[in-house]
Structure 1
Amino acid sequence: MKVPIAKALFNSHSYPQYRKLVSDLLVEGKSTGNEQSENLTLYSTLNETRMNRLEKTMKIPNENSLKLKSLKGEYIWLVISEGWCGDAAQILPIIHKMAEESGKIELKIVLRDENEDLMNLFLTKKAKAIPIVVIIEKATGDLLGSWGPRPKDAADLITNYKKEFGTIDETAKTDLQLWYLHNKGLSTQQELINLMENL
């Protein structure tokens, strides 16, 4: 097992611990991460609402449930996240439900800014984009693969917007959140299940 992965696992949070950490910081008017700003705290507050809603409404279709339950072996999904990240807020509740549904996946979450060595192993076009799901074989600690920071169609939406308008502004972020709302977590489920089945 790579040292940054081992270190990150040692300092990781369960899903409920992560939720509590983000909530407790918000009570103090703070967000997770090295940088503190009004905007980041605002995003974190919005994300709390999103995650609460998703936890209530998100469904795993039967066929996906069966695939998750029939995975061979046991795994750790180590997710790199931050409370202010809009993509993470849309994806974490889905990953949490998938792990629970499977019974073969243990979900661990670490903060990006506290795990720079780990983040540097999983850059997206040289950027520290999150969330990233790091897939580890539980028995051996072997790194099997990774996924993220967002489903392909969502990534394409942002890439195309940037090509057309030259920047990612609030409109792009709103479009992305609407995409997540309509997709209901199905692309994330599909892509992660495909990845797990092809390991």
Structure 2
Amino acid sequence: MTFSEYVAYFQDIVAKESTELAAPYNNPDYFDYTKLNWHRMNRWLKTGELSEVLIQKVKSIGAPQHWILITEPWCGDAAHSVPFIELLSRENPLITLSYELRDSEPHRIESYLTRGGKSIPKLVIKNTEGHDLATWGPRPAGCQEIYDSLMQEKASFDKVKEEIQHWYNNNKGVAIQEELLLVFNDMQ
């Protein structure tokens, strides 16, 4: 799906009552979190700033690439990462970006597991022959360290959500951009 289709799908979910939706959105906790993600994603689309170094790197890509972003509206990490990837993809007409839902066909995530899990978002970069050039995701390394530490201490889900949210707010998309720059440098 295109970004417009993903946004329409996302918007359709948040415009309804949770009782009108299928799983997982019929769970009030998932539904409320998805509504928060809607606001987070749109905030970054409006206020997120791409680094000039990363913009120039993406503009220098000279061969067509197909980026596939595996995500879901309920994913908190995606709410913070998807906007930066979308904005970045717009910097070069040789890049096409499509969106796939993790929990729907074609279940591409099965080929891109992280530590054996279906963690998202996951960016897959392919060439015109369909060969993988690189992958990124599900979250920046600094955020992953916090997550791993909280999991090790068996922190509550609410504490994990809060700490991760603070990290993303304070980082302002810098880490994802630094990591994507490394990905592009490694591809050359």
Q: Give the TM-score taking structure 2 as reference length.
A: 0.91
Q: 1:134 to 1:158 in 2, by over 3 A?
A: same
* Conserved? CA contact 1:65–1:101, under 8 Å: yes
CA distance in 1, matches of 2:92, 2:10: 26
CA distance in 1, matches of 2:76, 2:2: 19
Number of the residue aligned with 1:23: 11
1:91 and 2:70 equivalent?
Answer: no
Deviation at 1:115, TM superposition (A): 3.1
Number of the residue aligned with 2:46: 56
Q: Please state whether the residue corresponding to 2:90 is helix, strand or coil.
A: helix
* Conserved? CA contact 1:33–1:82, under 8 Å: no
Deviation at 1:28, TM superposition (A): 2.4
The C-alpha deviation readout for 1:32-79, integer Å capped at 9, x for no partner, is 985331111111100111011111110112222111111231211101
Which runs of structure 2 are paired with 1:34-53 in the superposition (5 Å)?
34-36=23-25, 37-53=27-43
Number of the residue aligned with 1:10: none
Number of the residue aligned with 2:178: 190
* Conserved? CA contact 1:133–1:148, under 8 Å: yes
Deviation at 1:116, TM superposition (A): 5.9
* Conserved? CA contact 1:158–1:176, under 8 Å: yes
Q: Please state whether the residue corresponding to 1:79 is helix, strand or coil.
A: strand
For structure 1, the residue ranges without an aligned partner over 5 or more in a row are 1-12
Higher helix share: 1
For structure 2, the residue ranges without an aligned partner over 5 or more in a row are none
Q: Aligned to 2:67, which of 67, 71, 77?
A: 77
Number of the residue aligned with 1:148: 137
Q: 1:175 to 1:187 in 2, by over 3 A?
A: same
* Conserved? CA contact 1:71–1:197, under 8 Å: no
Q: Please state whether the residue corresponding to 2:98 is helix, strand or coil.
A: strand
Number of the residue aligned with 1:159: 148
Deviation at 1:168, TM superposition (A): 5.0
- Aligned alpha-carbon RMSD (Å): 1.8
Q: 1:128 to 1:176 in 2, by over 3 A?
A: same
* Percentage of pairs with the same residue: 30
CA distance in 2, matches of 1:132, 1:146: 7
Q: Please state whether the residue corresponding to 1:78 is helix, strand or coil.
A: strand
* Conserved? CA contact 2:70–2:109, under 8 Å: yes
* Conserved? CA contact 1:80–1:111, under 8 Å: yes
Q: Give the TM-score taking structure 1 as reference length.
A: 0.86
Deviation at 1:21, TM superposition (A): 0.8
